[in-house]
Amino acid sequence: MFVRRIATLILCLSFMTACSDAGVETDPTYGRKDQETLYKYGSAASDSGGINIFGGTEKKNEDNGGLGVNAFLWRATLDTISFMPLASADPFGGVILTDWYSPAETPNERTKLNVFVRGRDLSSDAIKVTVFRQVKGTDGVWSDAPVAASTAGSLENAILTKARQIRLAQKQIQ
Protein backbone atom coordinates (compact mmCIF):
# COMPACT_ATOMS: atom_id res chain seq x y z
CA MET A 1 0.00 0.00 0.00
CA PHE A 2 2.78 2.41 0.98
CA VAL A 3 4.75 1.56 -2.16
CA ARG A 4 1.73 2.29 -4.35
CA ARG A 5 1.31 5.73 -2.80
CA ILE A 6 4.98 6.55 -3.32
CA ALA A 7 4.81 5.32 -6.93
CA THR A 8 1.67 7.38 -7.56
CA LEU A 9 3.28 10.45 -6.02
CA ILE A 10 6.40 10.07 -8.17
CA LEU A 11 4.29 9.57 -11.28
CA CYS A 12 2.23 12.70 -10.53
CA LEU A 13 5.35 14.75 -9.86
CA SER A 14 6.93 13.59 -13.12
CA PHE A 15 3.83 14.67 -15.05
CA MET A 16 3.80 18.05 -13.31
CA THR A 17 7.46 18.73 -14.05
CA ALA A 18 6.99 17.66 -17.66
CA CYS A 19 4.29 20.33 -18.01
CA SER A 20 6.30 23.11 -16.40
CA ASP A 21 8.42 25.57 -18.36
CA ALA A 22 11.54 24.96 -16.27
CA GLY A 23 14.60 24.73 -18.46
CA VAL A 24 12.83 26.07 -21.55
CA GLU A 25 14.62 28.97 -23.16
CA THR A 26 12.61 31.95 -24.31
CA ASP A 27 12.54 32.80 -27.98
CA PRO A 28 15.01 35.61 -28.76
CA THR A 29 12.98 36.47 -31.87
CA TYR A 30 10.04 37.68 -29.82
CA GLY A 31 8.17 40.12 -32.03
CA ARG A 32 7.52 43.75 -31.13
CA LYS A 33 3.77 43.15 -30.90
CA ASP A 34 4.34 40.30 -28.43
CA GLN A 35 6.65 42.43 -26.29
CA GLU A 36 4.15 45.31 -26.20
CA THR A 37 1.32 42.93 -25.32
CA LEU A 38 3.40 41.38 -22.55
CA TYR A 39 4.21 44.83 -21.19
CA LYS A 40 0.62 46.13 -21.34
CA TYR A 41 -1.36 43.10 -20.24
CA GLY A 42 1.05 40.78 -18.48
CA SER A 43 0.96 37.89 -20.94
CA ALA A 44 2.17 37.31 -24.44
CA ALA A 45 -0.43 36.68 -27.09
CA SER A 46 1.56 35.58 -30.07
CA ASP A 47 -0.01 35.08 -33.48
CA SER A 48 2.32 32.17 -34.20
CA GLY A 49 2.83 28.78 -32.68
CA GLY A 50 0.86 26.88 -30.13
CA ILE A 51 -1.19 23.73 -30.24
CA ASN A 52 -4.92 23.95 -30.69
CA ILE A 53 -6.20 21.09 -28.54
CA PHE A 54 -9.91 21.79 -28.91
CA GLY A 55 -10.00 22.15 -32.69
CA GLY A 56 -11.01 25.03 -34.88
CA THR A 57 -8.64 27.13 -36.90
CA GLU A 58 -10.36 30.50 -36.65
CA LYS A 59 -8.47 33.29 -34.94
CA LYS A 60 -10.15 36.15 -33.21
CA ASN A 61 -9.88 39.50 -34.95
CA GLU A 62 -8.90 41.23 -31.76
CA ASP A 63 -6.11 40.18 -29.45
CA ASN A 64 -7.22 40.18 -25.81
CA GLY A 65 -3.74 39.86 -24.39
CA GLY A 66 -4.72 37.35 -21.72
CA LEU A 67 -7.77 39.27 -20.52
CA GLY A 68 -11.13 37.62 -20.00
CA VAL A 69 -12.85 40.52 -21.77
CA ASN A 70 -12.24 42.76 -24.77
CA ALA A 71 -8.87 44.45 -24.21
CA PHE A 72 -9.86 47.60 -26.09
CA LEU A 73 -12.99 48.10 -23.99
CA TRP A 74 -11.04 47.39 -20.81
CA ARG A 75 -8.32 49.92 -21.59
CA ALA A 76 -10.86 52.50 -22.81
CA THR A 77 -12.90 52.12 -19.63
CA LEU A 78 -9.88 52.66 -17.41
CA ASP A 79 -8.84 55.70 -19.48
CA THR A 80 -12.33 57.21 -19.49
CA ILE A 81 -12.91 56.94 -15.75
CA SER A 82 -9.30 57.62 -14.74
CA PHE A 83 -10.34 60.75 -12.82
CA MET A 84 -12.26 58.58 -10.32
CA PRO A 85 -10.61 56.49 -7.59
CA LEU A 86 -10.81 52.74 -8.25
CA ALA A 87 -12.19 50.48 -5.54
CA SER A 88 -11.80 47.26 -7.51
CA ALA A 89 -10.83 46.10 -11.00
CA ASP A 90 -11.12 42.50 -12.20
CA PRO A 91 -9.84 42.10 -15.79
CA PHE A 92 -10.93 38.47 -16.02
CA GLY A 93 -14.47 39.05 -14.80
CA GLY A 94 -14.72 42.43 -16.51
CA VAL A 95 -15.82 44.35 -13.42
CA ILE A 96 -14.59 47.83 -12.51
CA LEU A 97 -15.93 49.48 -9.37
CA THR A 98 -15.04 53.02 -8.43
CA ASP A 99 -15.05 54.61 -5.04
CA TRP A 100 -17.14 57.71 -4.32
CA TYR A 101 -15.88 60.80 -6.14
CA SER A 102 -16.74 64.42 -5.29
CA PRO A 103 -15.62 67.08 -7.75
CA ALA A 104 -14.16 70.24 -6.21
CA GLU A 105 -16.98 72.29 -7.79
CA THR A 106 -19.71 70.34 -5.98
CA PRO A 107 -18.38 69.05 -2.63
CA ASN A 108 -21.89 68.17 -1.41
CA GLU A 109 -22.46 65.72 -4.27
CA ARG A 110 -20.65 62.47 -5.00
CA THR A 111 -20.77 59.83 -7.71
CA LYS A 112 -19.83 56.18 -7.95
CA LEU A 113 -19.66 53.88 -11.00
CA ASN A 114 -20.00 50.17 -11.58
CA VAL A 115 -18.75 49.20 -15.03
CA PHE A 116 -19.21 45.75 -16.51
CA VAL A 117 -17.27 44.76 -19.64
CA ARG A 118 -19.17 41.76 -20.94
CA GLY A 119 -17.62 39.50 -23.51
CA ARG A 120 -14.74 39.70 -25.94
CA ASP A 121 -16.45 41.56 -28.76
CA LEU A 122 -16.10 45.27 -29.33
CA SER A 123 -19.81 46.05 -29.48
CA SER A 124 -22.28 48.35 -27.78
CA ASP A 125 -23.84 45.56 -25.76
CA ALA A 126 -20.44 44.53 -24.35
CA ILE A 127 -20.33 47.47 -21.91
CA LYS A 128 -22.73 48.32 -19.09
CA VAL A 129 -22.32 51.33 -16.80
CA THR A 130 -24.35 51.90 -13.65
CA VAL A 131 -24.11 55.34 -12.03
CA PHE A 132 -24.87 56.07 -8.38
CA ARG A 133 -25.24 59.58 -7.00
CA GLN A 134 -25.58 60.91 -3.49
CA VAL A 135 -26.03 64.38 -2.04
CA LYS A 136 -25.09 65.57 1.42
CA GLY A 137 -28.00 66.98 3.41
CA THR A 138 -27.84 69.89 5.84
CA ASP A 139 -27.44 67.34 8.64
CA GLY A 140 -24.23 66.02 6.97
CA VAL A 141 -25.73 62.65 6.01
CA TRP A 142 -25.34 61.34 2.46
CA SER A 143 -28.56 60.25 0.78
CA ASP A 144 -29.25 58.70 -2.62
CA ALA A 145 -30.24 61.07 -5.40
CA PRO A 146 -31.59 60.46 -8.89
CA VAL A 147 -29.22 60.25 -11.83
CA ALA A 148 -30.08 61.64 -15.25
CA ALA A 149 -31.15 58.80 -17.54
CA SER A 150 -28.63 59.82 -20.21
CA THR A 151 -25.58 59.74 -17.90
CA ALA A 152 -24.87 56.00 -18.11
CA GLY A 153 -25.50 55.99 -21.86
CA SER A 154 -23.14 58.93 -22.37
CA LEU A 155 -20.41 57.15 -20.43
CA GLU A 156 -20.95 53.94 -22.41
CA ASN A 157 -20.71 55.89 -25.69
CA ALA A 158 -17.53 57.65 -24.52
CA ILE A 159 -15.96 54.29 -23.62
CA LEU A 160 -16.96 52.75 -26.97
CA THR A 161 -15.53 55.73 -28.87
CA LYS A 162 -12.25 55.52 -26.95
CA ALA A 163 -12.07 51.74 -27.54
CA ARG A 164 -12.48 52.23 -31.28
CA GLN A 165 -9.74 54.87 -31.25
CA ILE A 166 -7.40 52.51 -29.39
CA ARG A 167 -8.14 49.69 -31.85
CA LEU A 168 -7.49 51.94 -34.85
CA ALA A 169 -4.25 53.19 -33.31
CA GLN A 170 -3.08 49.62 -32.70
CA LYS A 171 -3.89 48.59 -36.28
CA GLN A 172 -1.82 51.52 -37.57
CA ILE A 173 1.17 50.34 -35.50
CA GLN A 174 1.00 46.83 -36.95
Closest CA to 84 of 17, 132, 13: 132
CA distance 167 to 160: 11
pLDDT at 80: 96
**Does 33 or 101 have the greater pLDDT score?**
101
pTM over 0.85? The answer is no
Closest CA to 67 of 45, 97, 96, 39: 45
pLDDT one-digit tens code per residue, 96-116: 999 999 999 999 999 999 999
Q: How does pLDDT run across 113-146, given as a tens digit for each residue?
A: 999 999 888 998 999 999 999 999 999 999 999 9
Q: pLDDT tens digits, residue range 37-48? A: 434 444 444 344
Domains identified in the chain and CATH numbers: 71-173 (3.30.530)
- Which residues, including other chains, have CB under 8 Å from residue 156's CB and lie 6 or more apart? 124, 127, 128, 129
The sheet that has 95-98: what strands, in order across it? 86-90, 95-98, 109-117, 127-136, 142-145
Q: Does the pLDDT of residue 91 top 60, yes or no?
A: yes
Q: Which amino acid is at 131?
A: V
* pLDDT of the residue at 7: 52
pLDDT at 64: 52
Higher pLDDT pick, 49 / 99: 99
- Is the pLDDT confidence value at 87 over 50? yes
Question: What does residue 105 show for φ and ψ, rounded to 5 degrees?
Answer: -70, -30
